Amino acid sequence: MSSRLKANLDRLHHAYGILRQHENQIDSAARLLGFFKNELNVAIKGNPDFFHEKFETLTIDDSRRIKEFAFAKRFSAEMPRIFLLEIYGATREAQNALLKLFEEPEEGNHFFLVVPSFDILLPTLRSRLSFTNPIPSLVSDKDSVSVPNDAMKVFLKSSIKDKIAFVDALAADISDGKKAKHEALSFINDLEKTLYQHQKRNIPALEAIARARTYMNDRGPSIKMLLEYAILNL
């Protein structure tokens, strides 16, 4: 193992929480893949010690599969086992199942959880993650600059009838499979960001949005009801 590779591995935390963000059309996950390949010398294709998956909703079965892989013997004792988990939503059961894995990590295992919002993670799971970015080119949640969403500002000024019609159409598209569930979460996040920028004192609305986002991670939630609940509390 080269001295450079050893130095890079030694400074790695066992589990990172990383906000999914785009910079010059390259998102956080893509930058991580480049980091693994160029800085850690980890093969990202055909490598039995590299686990990369996207989860619309991380389930208890997904967590069990991840744990089984994490506790298996590594193919190469010198190289790390990397988990790149792109998670758009996760059930409580799935997250609780991973707690011990992150609390008592196997030597050589490194987890990178890329999420659209840290709020989708339970506080107990967040407490086990490092939010210090492993590579400088990744923008952290703290350092990110919010850009006002003009479309969302127009949405907030529309009538309650139009707001409900919009979210009902979004929910219907998700139910029909025309759009992914995480698009509802992205809408909630954009709504919260814009509302906070322009109506910081609207605490009840911000709390309603946070509550709706939390329940979106439950098994089989009614996206339509949650979106309507958030809108009716604006």
pTM (predicted TM-score): 0.68
Does residue 11 sit in the same domain as residue 111? yes
pLDDT given for residue 4 in this prediction: 63
141 lies in a domain? Answer: no
How many domains would you assign to the chain? Answer: 2
In a domain, 138, yes or no: no
Residues 92 and 178 in one domain: no
Of 46-55, 191-200, 206-215, give the range with the top mean pLDDT.
46-55
pLDDT category of residue 147 using cuts at 50, 70 and 90: very low
* Whole-number pLDDT of residue 140: 43
Provide the pLDDT for residue 232.
Answer: 93
| Same-domain check for residues 174 and 105 | no
**Residue range 34-39: average pLDDT?**
87
- Average pLDDT (164-175) is 91
If asked whether residues 53 and 112 sit together in one domain, one would say: yes
Kindly state whether residues 8 and 104 are assigned to the same domain.
Answer: yes
Q: Rounded to an integer, what distance in angstroms lies between the CA atom of residue 131 and that of residue 101? A: 18
pLDDT digits (tens, 9 = 90+) for 219-230: 677 999 999 999
Same domain, 29 and 100: yes
Asked if residue 164 and residue 120 are part of one domain, the reply reads no
In this structure, is residue 143 part of a structural domain?
A: no
163 lies in the same domain as 70: no
Q: Do 119 and 175 fall into the same domain? A: no
Residue 142 in any domain: the answer is: no
Interval 96-125 mean pLDDT: 89
Based on the domain organization, do 204 and 103 belong to the same domain?
no
Shared domain for 53 and 16, answered yes or no, is yes
Looking at the domain assignment, is residue 101 inside a domain? yes
Contact (Cβ atoms closer than 8 angstroms) between residue 174 and residue 183: yes
Q: With 90 as the cut, is the pLDDT of residue 20 above it? A: no
Read off the tokens for 214: 């939390």
Residue at 106 is within a domain: yes
- What does pLDDT average to over the chain? 84
Compute how many other C-beta atoms are within 10 angstroms of the C-beta atom of residue 218: 14
Q: CATH no. for residue 77?
A: 3.40.50.300
Instruction: State percent of the chain over pLDDT 90.
Output: 34
Inside any domain, residue 10: yes
As a three-state string, the secondary structure of 106-137 is CCCEEEEEEECCHHHCCHHHHCCCECCCCCCC
The pLDDT confidence band at residue 7, using thresholds 50, 70 and 90, is low
Residue 122: give the domain boundaries.
3-126
Check residues 134 and 98 and name the one with the higher pLDDT: 98
pLDDT of residue 51: 95
DSSP for 30-79, please give it. HHHHHHHHHTS---SSS-TTEEEEEESSB-HHHHHHHHHHHHSPPS-SSS
Same-domain pairing of 69 and 163: no
Using DSSP's 3-state secondary structure scheme, residue 81 falls into strand
Considering the domain boundaries, does residue 133 fall inside one? no
Model confidence at 136, pLDDT cuts 50, 70, 90, reads: low
